[in-house]
Amino acid sequence: MNRVLTVAAAICFAFSLAIQAQTPTAATQQNQSNPQEISAQRRALAKALAAQGTRVSVIADSAAASVLNQVDLVLVGADKITPEYLVNKIGTRMIALAARERAVTVCAACDTSKLIDADYHIASARDRRSVDELWPEAPKEVVVVNRYFEPTPLALFTTIITEQGELSPEETARRAERASIDSELADALARCRSRC
C-alpha cells in the first residue's frame, strides 16, 4: 500500500484520487499569506480523499520532513518546468531534498503546457508578497523577503507525470528545451525583465 505526501493540492488532488482509494495521504498546509484560502484547499483535498475511504492527515509544510519515514511517495504540482528546474511553491525543494536523503520517491504531476524553454521569470505580485506577512513595520535597515515560488532541480525528481505519460527528468528537460513561446511575447518579456 502506497503512502503519499502531497504538496501542491490542486493537481495532486486529482492524482491522489487516481492512485487508489486506500492510499493513506498526508497533505501539507502552507503557513503563508491567505491561510483561509490555503486551508480551504487542503480541507477540500482531505474531505474528498476521506470520503472515498482514504486515511488522510493534514500537516504543516514545515513538518513535511518529519513524516517522510511514514510515506512511500512525495507528489508535487508544478507552476512551470524549464530544462533545469521545476518551479513550485516555497518548500518544494526542501521536501525533495529531505525525501532524497530518506530514499523516498519524488514525483511531480502537471500537464505539458507547464514546459517552457527558458525561465521567463519576472518578479510579480504572485511571487513577491507583502513583507508585512512576515514582519509588519520592519525597520528600514532590515530586508524582508517573502517569496511564494522557488526552483527545484529536475534531478531531484524520479518522474514527471503528464497527460502524455510518465517522463524521466532527462526527457522532461529535452521537451522543455523544445517548448517555446511566441517570439513577440518572448521579446516583450525580455524588455519587461530589463525594466523590472
Is-contact 10 41, C-beta < 8 A?
A: yes
Question: How long is the chain?
Answer: 196
- The DSSP H or E segment spanning 177 is helix 169-178
Catalytic residue among 61, 72, 79, 182: 79
Give the closest residue to 177 by CA, choosing from 167, 188, 187. 167
Indicate the DSSP class of residue 30: -
Angstrom distance (rounded) from CA 159 to CA 110: 11
Cell 521567463 -> residue: 120
117 is catalytic: no
Active site residues: 79
